[in-house]
Amino acid sequence: MTTTTNNDKKTAKDESLVSGDTSSPLLGFIRDDPPENGTVTELAEGVLWLRMPLPMTGLDHINLYMIRDGRGWAVVDTGIGSKASKAIWEAAFAGAMDGLPVTKVICTHLHPDHTGLAGWMSRKFGVPLIMTRGEYFLCRLMAADTGKPAPDHALDFYRLAGFTEGQIELYKARFGGFGKAITPMPAGYQRIQDGDTLRIGKSDWRIIVGSGHSPEHACLFNADLNLCLTGDQLLPNISSNVSVWPTESEANPLQDWIDSCHKLKGELPTDVLVGPAHGIPFTGAHRRLNKLILHHEKALERLLDFCDRPKRAIDVYSVLFRRSINDGNRIMAVGESIAHLNCLVARGLMKRRYSDAGQYTYQRRKSAA
């Protein structure tokens, strides 16, 4: 789930000009153009890359990975829960994976393009689902909302942000869609935590947990291969959505995201090969992380200046997003707007009040001028 999309590949010159960082290696992509959707490519020794199509506007694919695990394969992320995705996997099982079984299903985080077929695959092969605790249980919680009405707490959350009643009705009509995009999750799972080591085949993969885009996102780093499978925690040229949701309205995920970018810089070598969930695998992780940090810090500066007078969350879109906001992206846009506003409130630079109109407004603190 991302809010800003660009081309699959940007030039190294573009990265240098935007980030202003000359201390880290430029981004280098392993190929000029992406492979066709549905194809499997060798990424490293014993690691395959499957590019799976997605039925989403502006984000047409996800990268999934298979790691040789003895007489089988460990799968990292599964694609959305659809018949088309299952058919592509069946072809991969019989073809690129040589008819060998899946031994483990590992999901970096809860979003449906990553967990959609996790339940189906783990049941098909009788193997464990491996996730962090926060991702597994939130995934099951969200799937359980399917068929239920939107809770009053969520409706109040969006009214406070400035939604019209028409927009509230649309949210109510779409509520519970998460569970429709995934196959039923297993009733149990195997937990991984930050710093754990997963033994897959003859190699060790260290778990590095980040936060912000999702609560407890797992990246897998193999020091022998100098390869990190980063899911949505580090992407080459799109910015992962960082949102506040009704379930935790006072959260500060943007600070979590920025802190996680700093953490990854400390954990990963400068020349690591990154296998992202979207885009082409690349090197230059530190430069990209610097750019992501700078991107959000600059957005916070613009937002602080813009809120010299009281603004609602729905009033700040133009400061944060280049694309127009519509019914298709409004929920993520307001969530990311609130994430930036909550971050400024937490830093003591912004104040929030309940207006006479029954909505939250945000204004720069005078001492922050």
Q: Domain 2-151+178-298, CATH 3.30.499.10 — does that match?
A: no
Distance CA 16, CA 13 (A): 5
Give the burial string for 267-283 (b: 16+ CB within 10 Å, else e): bbeeebbbbbbbbbbbb
Per the DSSP assignment, residues forming a β-bridge with 104 are 74
N-terminal to C-terminal alpha carbon distance within the chain: 35
- Helices marked H in 9-161: 12-19, 83-94, 112-115, 118-125, 133-143, 152-161
What are the average pLDDT values for consecutive 10-residue runs of the chain, which has 369 residues?
A: 39 32 74 95 97 88 98 98 97 97 98 98 98 98 94 98 97 94 97 98 97 98 98 94 97 98 98 98 98 97 98 97 93 97 98 96 84
Residue 16 pLDDT? 30
| This prediction's pTM | 0.93
> What is each CA distance from 300 to 314, 325, 363, in whole angstroms?
16, 19, 13
Tens of pLDDT, residue by residue over 340-351, are 999 999 999 999
Residue 56 pLDDT? 80
**Which structure tokens are listed for 335?**
């969530």
Domain boundaries, the chain: 2-151+178-298
**DSSP letters along 305-336, please?**
HHTTS-B-GGG-HHHH-SSPP-TTTHHHHHHH
Residue 298 pLDDT? 98
Tens of pLDDT, residue by residue over 230-284, are 999 999 988 899 999 999 999 999 999 999 999 999 999 999 999 999 999 999 9
Share of the chain above pLDDT 90, in %: 89
CB 12 within 8 A of CB 282: no
Q: What angle do CA 311, 322, 9 make, to 5 degrees?
A: 145
Distance CA 2, CA 293 (A): 16
